[in-house]
Amino acid sequence: MRGWLNRRLNDSCEASDLAQDTFVNVIAAGNAAEIREPRPFLVTIARRLLAHRHRRHLLETAYLDALRALPEALMPSAEMRLMAIEALQEIDRALDGLPRAVKQAFLLAQLEGLSYAQIAERLKVSASSVKQYLTRANRQCFFALAA
């Protein structure tokens, strides 16, 4: 597992961490005895972890890029930056599995403060679709964060 991950990451430490996370996920699921094809099962989990790692990296990079555009006086402390990155990752996990348009509508409403009409124009959908998207995304976040 570690060798397979290392070939994809070119970082043996990160590969070891992801291999460990893969096995921890299997153990935490509590169904290890029921697995008929262990290799494909482990590869599937590892691929998902790689995808999550990539998404986290993209989120963090986008946030740090946005911070670089701020004047020095408005730069948040290291602690606040870490808290913001963790919050972004939690929101990303909450929105995981939703269609792209639903995520985009949610982010446009929350981050840019756009109205239903403005979001509808950007996404090229109706305002009633935007309302449905935001209801769905808000419900998803509520249940994900309440768990």
Domains in the chain: ranges and CATH: 1-77 (no CATH), 97-147 (1.10.10)
Cα gap 9→7, rounded to integer Å: 6
Backbone angles phi, psi at 47, to 5 degrees: -60, -40
Could you tell me the pLDDT band of residue 147, with boundaries at 50, 70 and 90?
low
Q: Kindly state the tokens that stand for 52.
A: 């999550």
Q: What's this model's pTM, rounded to 2 decimal places?
A: 0.64
Q: What is the mean pLDDT of residues 86-105?
A: 88
* 79 HSE (CA, 13 A, CB side): 0
